[in-house]
Structure 1
């Protein structure tokens, strides 16, 4: 869906370009959907040519981030067409799980029981927008970068509005500069009361054939304890202590050694995580603005990927927020006052080591 002020049609292909940067709005025949493509060409080294693709009708899923011949985002096209968990999808306004699919905010109780997700996880919500169609605006090309913006509105016509009745707009601006992609989010509160939210991206980063040759490091000093439903108990473990050292990923660790689905916090600033592809002599640097206080490390068993999910809050932040002062700090639920906006950004940058 295009913006009402956009000059880019939603059917057919249209591309614009500069000497280095190109943007295209087109139809992907395999996915049978509109795609937004941003590309950067390095005339002196084709291994640094970069392509970014977003599917606005599939939840604004960032399903491709290709540098040279390497697709750094793992995407199962069949799952993407089902709007399932693959690629790099958006978690808003509730990253990950909400206990019992219920929450209380400013004395009012809300239910998310109507939200249905794949699998049998009774608490998993993953937000309300990753499987919804988004709008997009005309790409913008400059001398140093190319960008495009997608957005989705929450209003009385939205599914699950009774579970999250806060009129608002979430916008994402994807900016490609060389081999660095920055995703800037902005939340605009259009309602007459405070709006609570958390934001995250859920990327499946490719590990390719051999996980023994891919290393990860993250700047986290602590990990959150979770119960049997993968919900936080409120306890935090210091990974610098010997008894919790198995969770310590501050130094590069082979992905093959990991079996995790954990929320990390107490991030050092700048909060830089590194995915090091040793055989490819290439690193993926993942960073974010300081509103991102948590990150999830998830090691899927069935697909060659690793999830490094930067979050502005803990899992179930909407419930932890009102329980105590200590839990409020741990939760880090963000709030936007009526008529105001809030923004932050996540960056993915490819660095060559040889």
Structure 2
């Protein structure tokens, strides 16, 4: 049995529930369309820094922020299009803007559809008309994010997109990573290292990118919690970024459609023709 409720705290929050599996998901449309919380039978799946979340001047650190129309940062936050320079901050603007709820359903899942469209402010930093529609479906211990990207411009629209899930993890030494790659790049992309499934969690920060993926599934097993997380993603997503901080109880495994600075380099960048719609999917399953 599925259920959708709302609550008003700092922001209006939608609560999706699968009552049969005791699975509960929270989404805040006006704070970047973000998933903020997921619990299954009392187990916390996502990390959330609640103090940062309350401050609209700070980026959210937790849940699943949406990255669009870029992933990562640009040098000096700049890119050029048709000989004109634009300023676009790290991870783009979708995670900071209010999304609109366009549909809700409790048939076969607890689902909610959110929409984000271009406006006069987005066009100043990204000169394209677009419409994004994301449907979040909760089915038992699985979250499915169905996406559509619509280029409403009369010109070709370059873009990249990503998700930045913060998985709660109290003891990283108990993690067994499952990443479909044998090497990763440093944050700046200037060094490449072999990967055997192990990382050194004693360093202050790990920020690395796996760009030569050999499969469309990734995840980890938390031995301490006896919890397995599997992330599946469409072939739109060419890169996985792993990020964590030493003294914080989270790890991020982030599906990106292109590496950082793709809007300048063109590496793995996607392009939509005028009036074209592209669809993709990311799912997270807990065992």
Q: TM-score, normalised by structure 1?
A: 0.75
Per the TM alignment, residue 257 of structure 1 is displaced from its structure 2 partner at its CA by: 5.7
1:136 and 2:81 aligned: no
Runs of 4+ with deviation above 6 angstroms: none
Which of structures 1 and 2 has the bigger CA Rg? 1
Query: 1:63 Cα shift?
Result: 0.6
| Matched residue SS, 2:252 | strand
Provide closer, same or farther for how the CA distance between residues 255 and 203 of structure 1 changes in structure 2, counting only shifts above 3 A. farther
Aligned residue runs from structure 1 range 25-44, under 5 A:
26-29=6-9, 32-42=10-20
Query: Do the aligned partners of residues 305 and 255 (structure 1) sit closer, same or farther apart at CA in structure 2, a change above 3 Å counting?
Result: farther
* Cα distance in 1, alignment partners of residues 161 and 27 from structure 2: 18
For residue 308 of structure 1, report the CA deviation from its aligned partner.
Answer: 0.6
Structure-2 change in CA distance of 1:257 and 1:182 (3 Å): farther
Contact 1:61 1:90 in 2 (8 A): yes
8 Å CA contact 2:151, 2:276 repeated in 1: yes
Counterpart residue number, 1:79: 52
Assess if the C-alpha contact under 8 Å between 1:148 and 1:174 holds in 2: yes
Pair 1:169 & 2:131 matched:
yes
Q: Select 1:182's aligned residue among 137, 144, 154.
A: 144
- Tell me if 1:218 matches 2:194: no
DSSP 3-state at the match of 2:248: coil
Count of residue pairs the alignment pairs up: 283
Task: Give 3-state SS (helix, strand or coil) of 1:137's partner.
Answer: strand
Answering whether residue 275 of structure 2 is matched by residue 339 of structure 1, we say: yes
The equivalent of 1:7 in structure 2 is: none
Give CA-to-partner distance per residue, 1:143-177, whole Å, 9 cap, x none.
x3221111111122x2x422201011112110111
Match of 1:232 in 2: 189
Q: Distance in 2 between matches of 1:348 and 1:273?
A: 10
Is 1:265 aligned to 2:201, yes or no?
Answer: no
Task: Name the residue aligned to 1:23.
Answer: 4
| 1:149 matched residue in structure 2 | 113
- Once the two structures are superposed, what CA deviation does each residue of 1:306-336 show, in whole Å capped at 9, x if it has no partner? 0111000011101111xxxxxxxxx210111
Question: What whole-Å deviation, never above 9, does each CA across 1:83-121 have from its counterpart, x for those lacking one?
Answer: 42312101100111112222123x333321xx5xxxxxx
With over 3 angstroms needed to count, the CA separation of the structure-2 counterparts of 1:187 and 1:85, relative to structure 1, is same
Partner of 1:15: none
Per the alignment, do residues 28 and 278 of structure 1 end up closer, same or farther by CA in structure 2, a change over 3 Å counting? farther
Is 2:201–2:246's contact at 8 Å kept on the other side of the alignment?
A: no
Q: Distance in 1 between matches of 2:134 and 2:16?
A: 14
Q: Secondary structure at the match of 2:4?
A: strand
Gap runs ≥5 in structure 1: 1-19, 43-47, 116-123, 238-243, 322-330
Q: Bigger CA drift: 74-83 or 85-94? A: 74-83
Report deviation, 1:33: 1.0
Looking at structure 2, the residues matched to 129 and 89 of structure 1 have their Cα atoms a distance apart, in angstroms, of: 9
Please, what is the CA RMSD of the aligned residues? Answer: 1.9
Tell me the distance in 2 between the aligned counterparts of 1:141 and 1:178. 13
Structure 2 runs not aligned, ≥5 long: none
Q: Tell me the CA shift for residue 256 of structure 1.
A: 3.6
Cα separation, 1, equivalents of 2:232 and 2:22: 21
Distance between the aligned counterparts of 2:286 and 2:8, measured in 1? 25
Distance in 2 (alpha carbons) for counterparts of 1:218 and 1:309:
11
